[in-house]
């Protein structure tokens, strides 16, 4: 490779070293060899394969953005449509693996719309698109996509992902019917794909339900101690199942199963151990704490109801002394239980213990008293919270079909409530869906003013950008073109918010779309300037897109069209060059190539144009 880099042997050696390193999972070495091949054989017929090797190596090295660029190169340059289609879908997979579901969904949409026939040969693209919709909370669309996958690819081994997710979607919805539907899909996963990871996951979900997936208490415990434990050990580093949150998922399912079997003491022990092992940032910490508190209280009260007073006192002290979490919970939320235990201790002549219970109880009452003015003041705000919670649930589950009830509930929310912001968002979205763009604009602007200023769960920079883009789009629909372009210009010049998860952001939850990338914003500005007949500014805007090789042939054509409309001879020369560049496209079905050809045919030739200009001067 060094001494004879231009020889056929060097090429074969480079290919061997690259593929050998990749097959041995030495991805850094593989990346280096593939890069050498690209640099030394840029016009080789297999050049696209070398780029593919670079992309796959970077993907394995978790260099997502660089891998995406290589896949994009393949999309633009690979010789066959199937290859280009596959590369386009892999871009979506990159973002899905990085939990960037919006970008994944956008990538799948582009690949499916651009290669509608070729993409049928790649089932994972369809189920991964459905998965992206699921994680974005768009459950109705996800449901439709999963069902279509099962219809179109009925024998595909990844079908368990669709049946399991359908069970989860119905489990998230309220009502007995959907619970039965969820159970049906979980059972379908077990029966139809018995040796898949989905079968074990579905059994875990079935255990807290009606017949506990066909197991009794002993069978369920054996299942958790053997099958579930083995499942975790086998799939801990699996690429098939994301195991990051599995311990939390298992802990919650185990606890809910114990509760369903009325095994309160066992639930307390399991919850106590799980809280020791999970991280403070875990999403399962709060529900596990709630189960622990509830089952702990229930167990103590059962002792008292059975007349086992000493057992109740001993159990309370033993558990709270052993668990700091339980001690804290008993101090914060158990003033009624503490009072009852102090009475029991007094009845048994245990004065010091009774006093200790009473002191803890009085500290709780004193804390409540210090906050009593807030409690009284917030009665109306509590009512607002209740009404908003119901309205939001109706909106997410039913949308505009429950508009009257949603509006009725939202009208009861006080302006002072922290939910006023999301109230205006929902009302604005409803009005926009009905084509009431002026009214929707009013709600969006009020929402902008009412936006809360701080929350650890919300990315406010992203929230502000989404609101501003929404307002800009409403200005466009209202014909307020200048106001819209002003906002778009601000958004285009802002740095995009860092990649992250925005599932807590109200705009995401309620259904307000993301801000497009810089180049899409510039294309939109160019379109508006074109509508206003400001051809010079439109050409300058499209020029920025074209110079960065963004926007494809559409941007090139719009740039040429704007240059022509300026009426300037030099600008028209630039337009000729841009149109001729489009004609070089090798894509036979490129619509912009056809339009560019027609435009050139209707324009005078360059020499004719100059003669006409001279005649005009004379």
CA 598-600-605 angle, 5° bins: 145
Residue 169 lies in a domain: no
Selection from 81, 90, 89 nearest residue 59 by Cα: 90
Looking at the structure, tell me whether residues 490 and 544 fall in a common domain: no
Q: Among the listed ranges 65-69, 405-409, 589-593, which one has the minimum average pLDDT value?
A: 589-593
Same domain, 493 and 583: no
Residues 491 and 557 both lie in one domain: no
Q: Total structural domains in the chain?
A: 2
Mean pLDDT of 422-436: 89
Asked if 548 and 504 sit in the same domain, the reply is: no
* Alpha helices in 437-533, H assignment, sequence order: 437-450, 460-478, 481-493, 506-510, 518-531
- Structural domain contains residue 319: no
Task: Name the one residue in this structure whose structure tokens are 């009830």.
Answer: 405
Q: Which residue has the tokens 């996800």?
A: 142
CATH of the domain at 388: 1.25.40
Question: What pLDDT, on a 0 to 100 scale, did the predictor assign at position 347?
Answer: 60
Q: Is the pLDDT of residue 577 over 60?
A: yes
pTM beyond cutoff 0.85: no
* Containing structural domain, residue 473: 377-510
pLDDT at 371: 42
The burial class, CB within 10 Å (0-12 / 13-18 / 19+), for 538 is buried
Instruction: Check residue 406 and give its pLDDT.
Output: 87
pLDDT of 327 strictly over 60: yes
What pLDDT, in 10s, does the model give residues 329-367?
655 556 667 767 776 676 665 656 666 665 655 444 344
Query: Of 510, 529, 547, which marks where a domain is finished?
Result: 510
Q: What pLDDT score was predicted for residue 572?
A: 76
- Structure confidence at residue 86 (pLDDT): 87
In this structure, the answer to whether residues 477 and 597 fall within a common structural domain is: no
Residue 148 CA: distances (Å) to CA of 130, 409, 458: 10, 36, 34
- Asked if 383 and 499 sit in the same domain, the reply is yes
Residues 436 and 561 in one domain: no
pLDDT band with cut points at 50, 70 and 90 for residue 213: confident
Q: 413 and 470: one domain?
A: yes
590 vs 47: CA distance, rounded Å: 24
Count how many Cα atoms sit within 13 Å of the Cα of residue 267 in the half-sphere of its side chain: 27
573 domain residue, yes or no:
yes
Asked if residue 245 is part of any domain, the answer here is no
213 in Cβ contact with 207 (< 8 Å): yes
- The mean per-residue pLDDT over the stretch 2-28 comes to 88
Q: What is the pLDDT of residue 335?
A: 64
Looking at the structure, do residues 497 and 545 belong to the same domain, yes or no? Answer: no
Give the domain-ending residue among 469, 491, 510: 510
- Asked if residue 265 is part of any domain, the answer here is no
Per-residue confidence (pLDDT) for residue 133, from 0 to 100: 93
Question: Domain for residue 363, yes or no?
Answer: no
Instruction: Give the lowest-confidence range in 55-59, 107-111, 149-153, 453-457.
Output: 453-457
Does residue 496 lie within any of the structural domains?
yes
Query: Rounded mean pLDDT of 288-304?
Result: 86
Is pLDDT above 90 for 188? yes
Q: Judge if 569 and 449 occupy the same domain.
A: no
Question: Is the residue at 591 inside a domain?
Answer: yes
Q: Are residues 402 and 497 in the same domain?
A: yes
Pick the residue with more confidence: 347 or 604?
604
pLDDT band at 375; cut points 50, 70, 90? very low
The verdict on 480 and 546 lying in the same domain is no
What pLDDT, in 10s, does the model give residues 225-242?
A: 888 888 888 887 776 777
pLDDT tens digits, one per residue of 155-181? 899 999 999 999 999 988 866 567 788
117 vs 581, higher pLDDT = 117
Taking the C-alpha atoms of residue 450 and residue 23, their distance in angstroms, rounded to an integer, is 56
pLDDT over 90 (residue 151): yes
Q: How many CB atoms lie within 10 A of CB 6?
A: 8
């Amino acid at each position: 490779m060094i001494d004879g880099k231009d020889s056929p042997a060097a090429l074969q050696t480079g290919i061997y070293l690259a593929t050998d390193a990749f097959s041995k999972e030495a991805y850094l070495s593989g990346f280096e060899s593939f890069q050498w091949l690209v640099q030394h054989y840029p016009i080789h017929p297999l050049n696209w394969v070398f780029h593919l090797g670079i992309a796959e190596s970077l993907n394995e090295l978790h260099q997502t953005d660089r891998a995406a660029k290589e896949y994009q190169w393949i999309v633009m340059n690979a010789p066959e449509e199937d290859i280009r289609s596959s590369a386009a879908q892999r871009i979506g997979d990159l973002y899905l693996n990085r939990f960037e579901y919006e970008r994944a969904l956008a990538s799948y949409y582009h690949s499916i719309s651009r290669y509608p026939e070729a993409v049928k040969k790649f089932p994972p693209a369809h189920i991964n698109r459905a998965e992206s919709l699921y994680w974005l909370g768009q459950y109705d669309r996800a449901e439709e996509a999963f069902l279509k996958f099962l219809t179109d690819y009925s024998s595909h081994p990844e079908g368990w992902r669709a049946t399991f997710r359908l069970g989860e979607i119905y489990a998230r919805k309220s009502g007995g019917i959907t619970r039965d539907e969820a159970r049906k899909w979980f059972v379908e996963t077990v029966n139809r794909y018995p040796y898949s990871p989905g079968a074990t996951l579905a059994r875990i979900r079935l255990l807290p339900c009606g017949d506990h997936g066909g197991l009794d208490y002993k069978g369920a415990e054996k299942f958790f101690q053997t099958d579930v434990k083995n499942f975790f050990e086998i799939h801990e580093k699996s690429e098939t199942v994301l195991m990051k949150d599995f311990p939390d998922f298992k802990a919650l399912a185990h606890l809910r199963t114990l509760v369903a079997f009325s095994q309160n003491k066992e639930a307390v022990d399991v919850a106590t151990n799980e809280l020791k092992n999970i991280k403070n940032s875990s999403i399962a910490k709060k529900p596990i704490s709630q189960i622990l508190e509830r089952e702990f209280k229930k167990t103590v009260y059962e002792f008292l109801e059975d007349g086992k007073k000493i057992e109740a006192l001993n159990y309370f002290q033993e558990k709270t002394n052993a668990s700091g979490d339980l001690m804290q919970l008993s101090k914060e939320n158990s003033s009624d239980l503490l009072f009852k235990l102090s009475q029991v201790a007094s009845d048994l002549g245990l004065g010091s213990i009774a006093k200790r219970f009473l002191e803890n109880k009085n500290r709780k009452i004193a804390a409540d008293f210090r906050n009593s003015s807030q409690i009284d003041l917030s009665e109306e705000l509590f009512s607002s919270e209740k009404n908003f919670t119901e309205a939001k649930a109706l909106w997410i589950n039913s949308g505009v079909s429950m508009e009257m009830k949603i509006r009725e509930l939202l009208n009861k929310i006080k302006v002072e409530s922290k939910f006023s912001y999301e109230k205006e968002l929902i009302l604005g979205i409803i009005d926009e869906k009905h084509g009431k763009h002026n009214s929707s604009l009013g709600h969006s602007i009020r929402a902008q003013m009412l936006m809360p200023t701080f929350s650890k769960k919300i990315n406010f920079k992203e929230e502000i950008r989404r609101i501003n883009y929404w307002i800009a789009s409403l200005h466009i629909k209202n014909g307020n073109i200048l106001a819209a372009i002003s906002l778009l210009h601000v958004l285009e010049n802002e740095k995009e918010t860092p990649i992250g998860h925005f599932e807590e952001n109200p705009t995401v939850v309620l259904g307000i779309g993301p801000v497009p990338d810089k180049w899409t914003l510039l294309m939109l500005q160019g379109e508006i300037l074109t509508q206003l007949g400001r051809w010079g500014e439109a050409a300058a805007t499209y020029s920025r897109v074209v110079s960065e090789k963004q926007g494809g042939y559409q941007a090139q054509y719009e740039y040429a069209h704007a240059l022509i409309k300026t009426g300037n001879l030099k600008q028209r020369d630039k337009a000729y060059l841009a149109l001729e560049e489009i004609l070089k496209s090798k894509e036979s079905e490129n619509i912009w190539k056809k339009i560019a050809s027609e435009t050139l045919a209707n324009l005078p030739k360059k020499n004719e144009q100059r003669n006409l200009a001279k005649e005009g001067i004379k």
